[in-house]
Amino acid sequence: MKNLRAKPDISRFHGLAVILAMFAISSGHAADTVHVSCVGNSITDGTGLAGRDTACYPVRLQQMLGPGYDVLNCGVAGATMLKNGNKPYWTFGLAQLAAAMAFEPQVVIIELGTNDSKSSGGVDNWPSHKDEFVGDYEAMVDTFAALTSRPKVWACYPTPAYSTAYLIDSMVLHYEILPKIKTVVLNRGIPLIDLFAAMSNQPSLFADGIHPTAAGYVILARKVFQMLTKDTLTIVQQKNRLEAPQNGAFYQWYWQDKPVAALSGGTGQVLTARDTGLYKVSVGQNATTDDILVSSVVHVGPPDLVSDVSRSADPAVSRSVKGFVRLFRPNGELASSLFVPATTSFERTLPHCSPGVYFAITETSVFKVLIP
């Protein structure tokens, strides 16, 4: 497990690109080693923990994951997710952010939000900047997701606060920051580790009410380990019929990384895909936590959309279709796209295609079309 306890002086550097260059050296890691960047505040860093270099959560996680993984501790004491916070991870933790990116991770675990709750003692993170939290969090998710290593980015709920030490506001943390993190998770379709529930009602696991004890770090690391090793969700695909695992607490489907609306079936266990592209699904793990896993991605192509319709016995034209329509040939090739105004019939807007059978796909239906 690598550790960035020593923080380089970054005052002479001009931006993230220069910092990245500082870390851009050959890693020498085996090709099959999974790199894990642990991004966070003092709870990730292990600040103040006796034996921190052998007992903080990234070290414990490394021990649990074993030699096939390489875990990097990129925690920064006091760091906020908010760019306008008193100690933004984006700038105050710039060296650690650069290191987390240069590590070429396949997994990124974000544990931030605790320090964003501060609103007293001359620190004005919340509520003055609370409306910026979701956007700043999504920007960090997008920053890591865009890396060439294409990591899976995990969000964590902060652990509970059992005291007001370090100006942490437990009520803001619980009732405002956690819901905003869940908003990010559902907007971006990323998995969530509910550290808040995992360590609730256990104040003895915290040395000062904020930072875990050595025993608390074991529990924290075990929770992260359990979620990482449960990350095996797959979608059962039968052409354009996509089925998520059963017994989820909730479901949210994504098309091209955009949430599918509930009216289009986006919150059911089974989704009938209405468009070509990449699909995935977020699945709530149980009713007592907000743990969320995200499936691997499946691809739905034109043949998947039209194959079932092609077995219909009688060609037909829908006379009630309005809006955007795409026409596919039986082999799944796109023949034409058109827009049907509300004042015009579908037949009058049909393009000049070669005679034959086509399959029309709208936002809500797929049907057969005969062009004489």
pLDDT, tens digit, for every residue of 115-167?
999 999 999 999 999 999 999 999 999 999 999 999 999 999 999 999 999 99
In terms of C-beta distances under 8 Å and separation of at least 24 residues, what long-range contacts does 176-179 make, across chains too?
176/117, 176/126, 176/130, 177/113, 177/116, 177/117, 177/126, 177/133, 178/113, 178/290
Write down the pTM of the prediction.
0.82
Amino acid 124: pLDDT: 95
Task: Look up residue 221 and give its two tokens.
Answer: 């690391």
Average pLDDT, stretch 278-288? Answer: 96
Amino acid 13: pLDDT: 38
**Mean pLDDT estimate for the chain:** 87
Amino acid 226: pLDDT: 98
The residue ranking higher by pLDDT, 27 or 1, is 1
CA 184 to chain centre: 8
**If DSSP codes are grouped into helix, strand and coil, which group holds residue 33?**
coil
pLDDT band of residue 348 (cuts 50, 70, 90) is low
Residues 6+ apart with CB under 8 A from 264: 274, 363, 364
- Compute the half-sphere exposure of residue 21: CA atoms within 13 Å on the CB side of its CA: 7
One-letter amino acid at 332 equals: G
pLDDT band of residue 16 (cuts 50, 70, 90) is low
2-229 CATH fold: Rossmann fold (3.40.50)
> Which residue carries 């099959």 as its tokens?
32
**346 has pLDDT over 70:** no
Give the start-to-end residue ranges of the domains of the chain. Answer: 2-229, 236-300, 306-371
Average pLDDT, stretch 346-350? Answer: 67
Average pLDDT, stretch 297-325? Answer: 62
The residue ranking higher by pLDDT, 307 or 271, is 271
pLDDT band of residue 17 (cuts 50, 70, 90) is low
Average pLDDT, stretch 208-220? Answer: 97
Amino acid 38: pLDDT: 98
* CB distance 215 to 283 below 8 Å: no
**20 has pLDDT over 70:** no
The residue ranking higher by pLDDT, 35 or 304, is 35
Percent of the chain with pLDDT over 70: 84
Alpha carbons 291 and 180: distance in angstroms, whole number: 15
* CB distance 56 to 73 below 8 Å: yes
Amino acid 351: pLDDT: 66
**298 has pLDDT over 90:** yes
